[in-house]
Structure 1
Amino acid sequence: MSRSTLLIRTTREEDWQAVRALRLEMLRDTPLAYAETLEHALQVEEPAWRLRARRGETAGQTSVVAIEGARWVGHMGGYLPDAATGPVLVAVYVAPDRRGDQAGVARALLDEVERWARQFGSTLRLEVHEENPRARRFYEKLGFTLTGRSRRYELEPGGLELEMIKPLA
């Protein structure tokens, strides 16, 4: 797949079914990476999925997807908890068969989230679970570094969420 065949765009309310399907895929693939369980997501009803899909149209947050043909192959979100914290990267996912530098999906998604984040600050933050070394290496390759701050992961199996930060050019 070439990057030119990849559509990167924000989500809209009418995308709610695709947003749901992708979120369930994300939770099945890497349950430790998201602050939600698959069991919870399966119980979420349509109005809440519509709300989630509207994040791409809402001030102070974004929801960006990568689409190849009719298939959604990736997602990254961002939100602004407060002005002091600045923008935070969340809900990062790329389908297993679209991972890696050659595919370009992650880089394309991050480019779009960074474009959004520059409106709100000079850095982009994220949290990664200490037991997710693949994700940590991926973020380091994209320019994120550990800050030394962490917090408890609220779901089973527990552990720590490690904060990483990247300066925005």
Structure 2
Amino acid sequence: MPAEPTEVQVRPGVEADLAALTDIYNHYVQSTPITFDTVAFTPEERRPWLLSHPEDGPHRLKVAVAADSQAILGYATSSAFRAKPAYGTSVEVTVYLAPDAGGRGVGTLLYKALFEALAEEDLHRAYAGIAQPNEASVRLHERFGFRHLGTYREVGRKFGRYWDVAWYEKDL
């Protein structure tokens, strides 16, 4: 794993982060196929998402901040994989970085903190869906022990074309 940037701190997400987290997510909504949302959100529309990730439990939100400025560099979440009760020991995980925060080890720090927090929970598997192509995300997930399960071909349509999603799994 790359050396940890000393200028980055990872902590649980809080209400005061909502606007910045929404801005980061909206970048991906408006500019990339990484998320299949197609319309930008207001912070108020994203509030239920934030509140669904408390500081403890299996559904977490970790935020990376620059130590000097406290600017939010990105976030990682674990969320419900599916709504049915038998899926309760599985989570879907994801990382979103601010547009200028890539390639600095921030994603690695976020996942390290997230998986350390989840180690104390009654969880069995983590899953990640990665819209293709996205080599940086594939490398990050493989670095954390995720293995490719399969690919849904042309499962989402955005920006006038179809996109594949590769699915990855990790034992917890």
Name the CA shift for 1:5/1:143 in 2 (closer, same or farther; >3 Å): same
SS in 2 for 1:140: helix
Q: Which residue of 2 aligns with 1:106?
A: 107
Q: One-letter code of the match for 1:117?
A: L
Is 1:27 the counterpart of 2:29 in the alignment? yes
CA drift of 1:23 comes to 1.6
Percent identity among equivalent residues? 19
CA drift of 1:67 comes to 0.6
Q: Does the Cα contact within 8 Å between 2:64 and 2:73 map onto a contact in 1?
A: yes
CA drift of 1:164 comes to 0.5
Is 1:50 the counterpart of 2:52 in the alignment? no
Q: How does 1:1-169 map to 2 (within 5 A)?
A: 3-28=5-30, 31-37=32-38, 40-41=39-40, 44-57=41-54, 59-68=57-66, 69-82=69-82, 83-84=86-87, 86-90=90-94, 92-95=95-98, 97-100=100-103, 103-118=104-119, 119-148=121-150, 150=152, 153-156=155-158, 157-168=161-172
Q: Does the Cα contact within 8 Å between 2:8 and 2:65 map onto a contact in 1?
A: yes
CA drift of 1:146 comes to 0.4
CA shift digits 1:96-124 (9 cap, x unpaired): 54333xx3311210012213433132332
TM-score, length basis structure 1: 0.76
Counterparts of 1:106 and 1:7, CA distance in 2: 12
Counterparts of 2:117 and 2:79, CA distance in 1: 10
- If each structure's helix is expressed as a fraction of its own residues, which one has the higher value? 1
- Let me know the Cα RMSD of the aligned residues: 2.7
CA drift of 1:86 comes to 0.4
CA drift of 1:61 comes to 2.0
Moved over 4 A (4+): none
More moved, 155-164 vs 44-53:
44-53
Counterparts of 1:26 and 1:121, CA distance in 2: 28
SS in 1 for 2:90: coil
Runs of 5+ in structure 1 lacking a partner? Answer: none
More moved, 114-123 vs 67-76:
114-123
Q: One-letter code of the match for 1:34?
A: T
SS in 2 for 1:155: strand
SS in 2 for 1:165: strand
Name the CA shift for 1:151/1:121 in 2 (closer, same or farther; >3 Å): farther
More moved, 51-60 vs 138-147:
51-60
Counterparts of 1:50 and 1:135, CA distance in 2: 26
CA drift of 1:125 comes to 1.1
